[in-house]
Chains A and B, each alone.
Chain A
């Protein structure tokens, strides 16, 4: 398939996300369904994803075909959630409504944005794995930077980062201590 077509781009994205292509034509319970592309999810997501292109296919026929797929899945007692990704012009609201009764519809539409890839990703986001931020990363990074806070300062001052682990009070005491140390000689000769 050619990645320059919308269907190709969508398929590529989903394949990259870990979905597997189903060999065409799609057969459910002995019935054949003709779709430009069909994919199923890996273990954790049993989705069945169909890709259609309204540029080549009439909306009515697409609706009928999807209802057929849904019905076939029901008959086969399959619990795979069904998703259709529609490339090409956005179907009419009535047809979208009809489709969304039997499956999840992702009408990517004709991508007009400059960032076509980004826009497509947005539409398909729900199918793509969710990348959570590394909750430890910033903290680890922060710790490293934290220890470097005192670079270029006097050693006594730079060392103030050490008691920070014990909390505010420890830092405060240490701060007082180094200030007191600086003037400690004043005490020895009773000048104060």
Chain B
């Protein structure tokens, strides 16, 4: 079933006031109205109802939304009914809320786009159509023209192929898509560099091995093998393993140590001991012993006797015979002096104490007599004078006359003085007496305290004073000690001399002993040295040969032999180490060779794989190129054969005498997006310029109009509708007549439902005539839009049906 617009109901939309219902169920609908009567509003309402928006206004004024509701109305409403659309509802209603229309149109988004671009030609669009389709910016790939081309050609598959093969154009794009390929591609240079590195390593290793072999040969040479010995020969190996020289080396080392020890010993006794030296020492020793004995008999005895006397007083003194005499003397002297000092000081203090005791006794006597005087004075004062004075003082305020408040007797009888005065005098006397009494009492207490102090001091002193016996004994001791001190002082020189004798004697005896020991050692050493010559199979030590020289001779021989052996041994050890290292390196060399061959093998395998992949990529590139070429070819062909052909046809119909025809020209481009520019072609061949430069205003308008129709006609009509808003504004009458014929052709021949709004009455009439029904079931609806007196929009609707023509006999 062919989709057809059925009816439209509009309430307060744009310039339409009130509610109008417009029937549209006819192949042709002609709308006429004065300017401002609401023709365009009707067409906008249809657009709104179908697509949910008014794209034709949005192109002109982005803020059109806020002006859609009639300015005198609160809210508006648009509802449209369509027939024959499968999968879509027949009616859609869009209401305004808050003076803004929002809602879903009747058509799907795809159909909405088709409607907006291919069915509805708004006045604003017509003026700009060429501009819209003229491709200005080559970078905009999704231009309306490109979209059109895709719609037209169904190039999706080609596009998908071209876009899908995009990655083949540059291997870097394959990094994520084809990671394995990328890895292989990556691995090849890595492998190559790895092989280079390994080869370098291998040659370095070869050099090392050669050097090692040479060094082993050099070592073998040292060990006594011939030059250029094969280091792998059994002879060489045996030599390398032999450890024969080891015990000999050990023996030599021991020998060297022994000789060293002998030399050492010999050097300590080297001076030797002559008989003369021994005699001198013995003589010296004898003299020293004699003088010591003499001293012991003389001064020594004296000293002993002093010490013996002192032993009665000091039991722990050192003995002068067992210790050194000076030490014994000085210790005794110090002890005696200290004791003497102590005794003297005890005696001196005792004298002092005796004196002090006498002074204290005198002071105590005085204190006692003073206390007695104080006691006497205190007794003179009444004990309670103070409290009595206070009592009288409290009575005093009660004395108002001479009458005594205590006894109520008249005071005048006793004295001439008034009672109050008497009382006051009495009180003051009592108070003074009390003050004195207090002072006296304090004085007495102090006196008693100082007396007690003095008595305590005296007690201490009295206890400390020596008894007469003790004092006498102490005095005797002092005298005895003074004697000792003097004796010790006198004996000092003799003691020093004795000390010297002692030292001399012991020194002489010690040197004599040392000489005797040395003499014996030298004999032993010579015997030992003689043994070395046997062990080393060398010439014996001659009688005239000094021992030191002989030892040196032995030492030289030992170290020479030892050096030779050590050199051989170390050469053997180093050679062994080298041989070991050599075998390690040989192993490495083998591993390396295998790694190189493995890597080479991998490299060749990967290279082969990559070759295949590269081949595929290049083929994919080729495919992509072909697809692009084909796309370009198709586009070019379709442009030339379809779009340009029909545009030309349509344009010629409307402007038969215009020598220039507008067309899309496809510039040559290297594949990629299709770019088309507008140009004109001279009818009889040759190119003109841009249509806007070449065509008159009327013909430019015609060009735009026919472009729109060509775009509509060159695709499969998803919606076979053409809604055209006042298309003839700058067309002359010739064009109008042609246009009417064209509309008729589209309607009657090609089944397009046509809605045309015009404002010129004659044109309207002419179109009504030209588009009048031509066959059974053909219909025409004419609609006149006007306004009632109250400003409400009024629709005058006139359907016309077919009447067979009788005027001209066919």
Contact for A20 among B168, B656, B733, B810, CB less than 8 A: B810
- B741 interface residue (CB < 8 Å to A): yes
In this assembly, does B471 line the interface, its C-beta being within 8 Å of a C-beta of chain A? Answer: no
Query: Given A130-B750, A180-B178, A81 and B157 touching (CB < 8 A)?
Result: no
> B798 an interface residue at 8 Å Cβ cutoff?
no
Could you say which residues of chain B place their CB within 8 Å of the CB of A129? 745, 749
Residues of A within 8 A of B11 (CB): none
B605 within 8 Å of A (CB atoms): yes
Q: Which of A76, A161, A178, A189 contacts B161 (CB 8 A)?
A: A161
Contact: B177 with A176, CB < 8 Å? yes
Contact B165 A76 (CB under 8 A): no
Bound: A132/B155 CA distance, A: 20
Q: Are A79 and B160 in contact (CB under 8 A)?
A: no
Judge whether A154 and B619 touch: CB under 8 Å: yes
B183 at the interface (CB under 8 A from A): yes
A125 near B167: Cβ-Cβ < 8 Å: no
Chain A minimum-CB-distance residue to B176: A176
Distance, CA A129 to CA B646, complexed state (A): 12
Report how far A182 CA is from B620 CA in the complex, Å: 13
B517 CB to closest chain A CB (Å) equals: 88
Interface residues of A in 11-35 (CB under 8 A from B): 20, 22-23, 26-29
Known: A130-B745, A183-B609. A46 touches B805 (CB 8 A): yes
Chain B 519-542 interface residues, beta-carbon cutoff 8 Å to A? none
**Given the complex, which residues of B lie within 8 Å of A168, measured CB to CB?**
159-160, 163-164
Bound: A22/B810 CA distance, A: 5
Inter-subunit contact A139/B153 (CB<8 Å): yes
CB nearest to A133 among chain B residues: B642
Asked if B656 contacts A126 (CB within 8 A), the reply is yes
Complex contact A76–B807 (CB within 8 A):
yes
Q: Does B623 contact A (CB under 8 A)?
A: yes
Whether a CB of chain A sits under 8 angstroms from the CB of B742 is yes
CB distance from A126 to the nearest CB of B (A): 4
Q: Are B620 and A142 in contact (CB under 8 A)?
A: no
A59: min CB distance to chain B, Å: 17
**Distance to closest chain B CB from A38 (angstroms):** 8
In Å, the complex CA distance between A158 and B619 comes to 9
Does the CB pair B807–A78 fall under 8 Å? yes
Check if B85 is an interface residue, CB within 8 A of chain A. Answer: no
Q: Choose from A22, A146, A183 the contact partner of B808 (Cβ within 8 Å).
A: A22
Chain A residue with minimal CB distance to B770?
Answer: A81
Q: Is B494 an interface residue (CB 8 A)?
A: no
**A153 and B605 alpha carbons, distance in the complex (Å):** 24
Closest beta carbon of chain A to B604's beta carbon, Å: 11
**B630-660 interface mask toward A, CB cutoff 8 Å, 1 = contact, 0 = none?**
1000100110011101100110111011000
Chain B CB within 8 A of A55 CB: no
> Which of A43, A126, A153, A164 sits near B653, CB closer than 8 Å?
A126
**A171 at the B interface (CB under 8 A):** yes
Residues in A whose Cβ lies below 8 Å from that of B627: 146, 149
Answer yes or no: A62 CB below 8 A from chain B CBs: no
B158 part of interface (Cβ distance < 8 Å): yes
List of A residues within 8 angstroms of B153 by Cβ: 138-139, 142
A40 touching B810 in the complex, CB below 8 Å, given contacts A100-B733, A105-B734: yes
Interface flags for B600-619 (1: CB within 8 Å of A; 0: not) read 00100110011011011101
Whether A4 is near chain B, meaning CB under 8 Å from some CB there, is no
Q: Is B774 positioned at the interface, with any CB of A under 8 Å from its CB?
A: yes
In the complex with contacts A126-B742, A146-B158, A186-B606, A171-B165 CB distance below 8 A = yes
Question: Which B residues lie within 8 Å of A77 (CB)?
Answer: 803, 807
Roughly how many angstroms separate A137 CA and B562 CA in the complex, as a whole number? Answer: 112
Instruction: Write out the residue numbers on chain A whose beta carbons fall within 8 Å of the beta carbon of B612.
Output: 182-183
Q: Which of B179, B615, B807 has the most CB of A within 10 A?
A: B807
B314 within 8 A of A: no
Do B630 and A146 touch (CB < 8 A)? Answer: yes
A149 touches B749 (CB 8 A): no
B713 within 8 A of A: yes
Q: Does B787 contact A (CB under 8 A)?
A: no
Chain B residues with Cβ below 8 Å from A142 are: 153-155, 158, 630, 634
Q: Decide yes or no whether A63 CB sits under 8 A from chain B.
A: no
Asked if A44 and B181 sit within 8 Å, CB to CB, the answer is no
How would residues 733 to 745 of chain B score, 1 for a CB under 8 Å from any chain A CB and 0 otherwise? 1100110111011
Docked CA distance A65–B354 (Å) = 192
Q: Is A64 an interface residue when CB atoms closer than 8 A count as contact? A: no
Per-residue interface assignment for chain A, residues 132 to 171, with 1 indicating a CB less than 8 Å from any chain B CB and 0 otherwise: 1101101101110110011001101110110111111111
Question: Once bound together, how far apart are the Cα atoms of A100 and B741, in whole Å?
Answer: 14
Alpha-carbon gap, A53 to B775, bound state (A): 31
Q: Residue A153 contacts which of B623, B654, B807 (CB distance < 8 angstroms)?
A: B623
CB-nearest residue of chain B to A163: B164
Q: Is the CB of B161 within 8 A of A186?
A: no
How distant is the Cα of A161 from the Cα of B605 in the complex, in angstroms? 30
- Cβ of B407 within 8 Å of any chain A Cβ, yes or no, is no
Find the A residue at minimum CB distance from B650.
Answer: A130
Residue of B nearest to A169 (CB): B164
Asked if A40 meets B808 with Cβ closer than 8 Å, knowing A133-B642, A171-B161, A183-B613, the reply is: yes
Chain A nearest CB, measured from B745 CB (Å): 5
Q: Is B296 interfacial (CB 8 A cutoff)? A: no
> A162 → chain B, closest Cβ, in Å?
10
Set of chain A residues within 8 Å of B174, measured between Cβ atoms? 176, 179
B164 touches which of A114, A141, A146, A160 (Cβ 8 Å):
A160
> A28's closest neighbor in chain B, by CB?
B807
Q: Which of A83, A122, A133, A164 contacts B646 (CB 8 A)?
A: A133
Interface digits, A104-141 against B, CB 8 Å rule (1 contact, 0 not)? 11100000011100110011011101111101101101
B610 proximity list for chain A (CB < 8 A): 183
Q: Compute how far the CA of A113 lies from the CA of B684 in the bound complex, rounded to whole angstroms.
A: 8
Q: Is B466 an interface residue (CB 8 A)?
A: no
Cα–Cα, bound, A123→B770 (Å)? 19
B713: chain A residues within 8 A (beta carbon)? 130, 132-133
A28 near B808 with CB under 8 A, answer: yes
Within 8 A of A (CB), among B696-748: 713-716, 733-734, 737-738, 740-742, 744-746, 748
In the complex, the answer to whether A165 meets B157 with C-beta atoms within 8 Å is yes
**Closest Cβ of chain B: how far from A118's Cβ, in Å?**
8
Contact with A along B31-49 (1 / 0, CB 8 A): 0000000000000000000
Check B775–A44 contact: CB distance below 8 A: yes
Alpha-carbon separation in the docked complex, A118 to B174 (Å):
56
- CB contacts (< 8 Å) of B630 on chain A: these are 142, 145-146, 149
Instruction: Point out the residues of chain A lying under 8 angstroms from B567, CB to CB.
Output: none
- Beta-carbon contact of A179 and B178 below 8 Å: yes
Contact between chains at B637 and A138 (CB < 8 Å): yes
Cα A80 to Cα B154 with chains together (Å): 41
List residues of chain A with CB under 8 Å of any chain B CB.
20, 22-23, 26-29, 40, 43-48, 72-73, 76-81, 83, 97, 100, 104-106, 113-115, 118-119, 122-123, 125-127, 129-133, 135-136, 138-139, 141-143, 145-146, 149-150, 153-154, 156-158, 160-161, 163-176, 178-180, 182-187, 189, 191-192
Interface contacts beyond A45-B744, A154-B615: sample of 17 additional A-B pairs, CB < 8 Å, sorted by A:
A72-B807, A78-B805, A78-B807, A81-B740, A115-B684, A126-B741, A127-B741, A132-B750, A138-B642, A142-B155, A150-B623, A160-B620, A173-B177, A175-B620, A183-B613, A186-B180, A192-B187
10 shortest A-B CB distances, which residue pairs?
A171-B164, A78-B807, A76-B807, A182-B613, A44-B748, A176-B177, A133-B642, A104-B737, A157-B619, A79-B772
**A-B pairs with beta carbons under 8 Å apart, 22 shown:** A27-B808, A47-B741, A79-B769, A79-B773, A81-B740, A97-B733, A100-B737, A122-B652, A129-B749, A132-B646, A133-B641, A149-B630, A153-B619, A156-B616, A160-B165, A170-B164, A171-B163, A172-B167, A176-B167, A178-B616, A182-B612, A191-B187
Q: Interface residues, chain B, CB within 8 Å of chain A?
A: 152-161, 163-168, 174, 177-181, 183-184, 187, 602, 605-606, 609-610, 612-613, 615-617, 619-620, 622-623, 626-627, 630, 634, 637-638, 641-643, 645-646, 649-650, 652-654, 656-657, 683-684, 713-716, 733-734, 737-738, 740-742, 744-746, 748-750, 769-770, 772-775, 803, 805-810
